Chains A and B, each alone.
Chain A
Amino acid sequence: MAKRIDVSGLTAYYGAHKAIEDISMTVEPRSVTAFIGPSGCGKSTFLRTLNRMHEVTPGGRVEGKVLLDDEDLYGSDVDPVGVRRTVGMVFQRPNPFPTMSIFDNVAAGLRLNGSYKKNQLTDIVEKSLRSANLWNEVKDRLNKPGSGLSGGQQQRLCIARAIAVEPEVLLMDEPCSALDPISTLAIEDLISELKERFTIVIVTHNMQQAARVSDRTAFFNLAAVGQPGRLVEIDETERIFANPSVQATEDYISGRFG
């Protein structure tokens, strides 16, 4: 549960296009790390390298190392499918399985991982839905399709689905960008609760959100259009927003560009 991520010298490509270059950072366990930066700076690409989702895009490949505690996710004997079972992910748009019920959505990952007895499944599904602050809203309609929920509920359903398999790390790719402010608040509260148990990395375009939910913040930027994205700096969130050490970070946060 909750491992440290150590990235060193990571470069990711889409075919011949270099999307991000030479990124190194450490993500502490049981903390929230936020990635901010202008569109196209590669924060989502970098996030997707952390569970090897980047390589499912045609032409996607990676150089460098990502250590989860001491295990290299890109080691030659590592199965990307296994990595994704350890590092969960929540996407920008809520994507519950449209043909599955709420219960089956949460149980989907468990059923992939092995065989559970019916009552074990029921327990884990309830626990996960409670952890995602969704239980009270859906407990009476667990057999209804997940696509019938509101956007915010769907996103919490996706979070429940991701944490049901007890991942070491939870990656969130702009999880609130398709949601209204109230649903956003619900997710942010949830993130603060979940960091007690998981290592959380969140990409966000909303700097207030980064300031509210994260312990550490990483700022990404492009040197110029067409150049690969780079990590400009990563530091305690308070420092990044009050007194960043790089001028570009301050310019971005104060709205002078980007």
Chain B
Amino acid sequence: MASTTPTDLPPAPPARPGKSASTGRAGDKIFLGLSRGSGILLLVIMASIAGFLAYRSVIAISQDEGNFLTTFDWNPAGDPPVFGIAVLLFGTVVSSLVAMVIAVPIAVGIALFISHYAPRRLAAPLAYVVDLLAAVPSIIYGIWGALFLVPYLEGLNLWLDEFFAWTYIFDKTEVGVARSLFTVGVLLAIMILPIVTSVSREVFLQVPRMNEEAALALGATRWEVIRMSVLPFGRSGVISASMLGLGRALGETMAVATVLSPSFVISLHLLDPGGGTFAQNIAAKFDEANELGRDALIASGLVLFILTLLVNGAARLIIARRKEYSGANA
């Protein structure tokens, strides 16, 4: 913004060289200092978090007698201390993927309904209600999940088990309430629905009128307009919206900790109770952990931090690519 290329500038009058004119004022100096300071502060905070996590992780991992990446156990207080993130990584990724599979199609549907189908009188309140879902604290979702979703999903679990056991993932091998990764995924899906919906909706509303009219004038029905103009234009936006939702699902703590009955096993039978996620494990164990236990949890937090960074980085990459292929030059 502040940068000016030589071609932007008219020939500078000799009495007022451009540089001193723009930086000589007190207000400019203060604002420049403030904004530069905030920028630097942000970098310092990020670096100190990363540094702290890395430092404590190194301490923990060096004392780990098991393999930190592949061990199916979490016993830093034992003798020898053995702990690993395999189960946590699996549980985090699987529950988040379940959430994505459920939430993204529904979110795209809601976003399309709000942006292209609903009459204006209905669209605004509906969009507001969806946004309101994002304002519910996650512990409330957790309580609701544990008290409502868990008992009510049992019927669905039995049904899935009966008809889809052949898919392996819906084969319920253990009897027990539905405190499973699948239930966690359903709950996470509800929680990430608002962010995915509202970002997708914004993208769909930005589809240039002339792109939609191009399809309409060819005799496209409303669905065909969406297929030919709206979805291609919005595709990368939906992907980045999903990534944002994924980032939230990966890091969700309280709701998962309230619903899941944790265990250190890896099972692709998603309906079976058990499993664990990074954030849930930290929340559950941090209070009673000893010194090494806390460092071990911090090390698992570092892995989550890296995972989330990767997801956000991927989202940024897609958004950046979108600029080139947005069709705004048409």
Partner of A108 from the list B208, B218, B327 (CB cut-off 8 Å) is B218
A91 touches B218 (CB 8 A): no
Q: How far is the CB of A52 from chain B (nearest CB, A)?
A: 9
- Mind listing 8 A-B residue pairs with CB under 8 Å? A81-B221, A88-B218, A96-B330, A98-B325, A98-B326, A112-B220, A161-B218, A162-B218
Q: Which parts of B204-251 form the interface with A (CB within 8 Å)?
A: 208, 210-211, 213-221, 224, 228-229, 232-233, 235
- Which chain A residues border B229 with CB–CB below 8 Å? 97
A53 touches B219 (CB 8 A): no
Interface residues of B (CB under 8 A from A): 120, 208, 210-211, 213-221, 224, 228-229, 232-233, 235, 325-327, 329-330
A53 touches B216 (CB 8 A): yes
Q: How far is the CB of B155 from chain A (nearest CB, A)?
A: 42
Q: How far is the CB of B314 from chain A (nearest CB, A)?
A: 21
Q: How far is the CB of B205 from chain A (nearest CB, A)?
A: 14
B232 touches A113 (CB 8 A): no
A99 touches B220 (CB 8 A): no
**Cβ-based interface call for A183 (8 A):** no
Q: How far is the CB of B238 from chain A (nearest CB, A)?
A: 13
B210 touches A91 (CB 8 A): yes
**Cβ-based interface call for A8 (8 A):** no
Roughly how many angstroms separate A113 CA and B220 CA in the complex, as a whole number?
Answer: 9
B211 touches A97 (CB 8 A): yes
B211 touches A82 (CB 8 A): no
- Which chain B residues border A51 with CB–CB below 8 Å? 217
A85 touches B211 (CB 8 A): no
Interface residues of A (CB under 8 A from B): 51, 53, 56, 58, 81-86, 88-89, 91, 93-100, 108-109, 112-113, 146-147, 154, 158, 161-162, 165
Roughly how many angstroms separate A97 CA and B210 CA in the complex, as a whole number?
Answer: 10
B120 touches A58 (CB 8 A): yes
Closest-by-CB residue of B relative to A89 is B217
List 3 tightest A-B contacts by C-beta distance, closest first. Answer: A98-B327, A85-B219, A99-B232
Q: How far is the CB of A179 from chain B (nearest CB, A)?
A: 14
B214 touches A97 (CB 8 A): yes
B219 touches A95 (CB 8 A): no
Roughly how many angstroms separate A244 CA and B166 CA in the complex, as a whole number?
Answer: 81
19 extra interface residue pairs, beta carbon distance < 8 Å, beyond A99-B233, A99-B327: A53-B217, A58-B120, A85-B219, A91-B214, A91-B217, A93-B210, A96-B214, A97-B211, A97-B232, A98-B326, A98-B327, A98-B330, A99-B325, A112-B219, A112-B220, A147-B329, A154-B330, A161-B218, A165-B219
A95 touches B330 (CB 8 A): yes
- Which chain A residues border B218 with CB–CB below 8 Å? 84-85, 88, 108-109, 112, 161-162, 165
Closest-by-CB residue of A relative to B328 is A98
Roughly how many angstroms separate A85 CA and B229 CA in the complex, as a whole number?
Answer: 17
Q: How far is the CB of B204 from chain A (nearest CB, A)?
A: 15
Closest-by-CB residue of B relative to A105 is B214
Q: How far is the CB of B22 from chain A (nearest CB, A)?
A: 37
Roughly how many angstroms separate A88 CA and B219 CA in the complex, as a whole number?
Answer: 8
A94 touches B330 (CB 8 A): yes
Closest-by-CB residue of A relative to B232 is A99
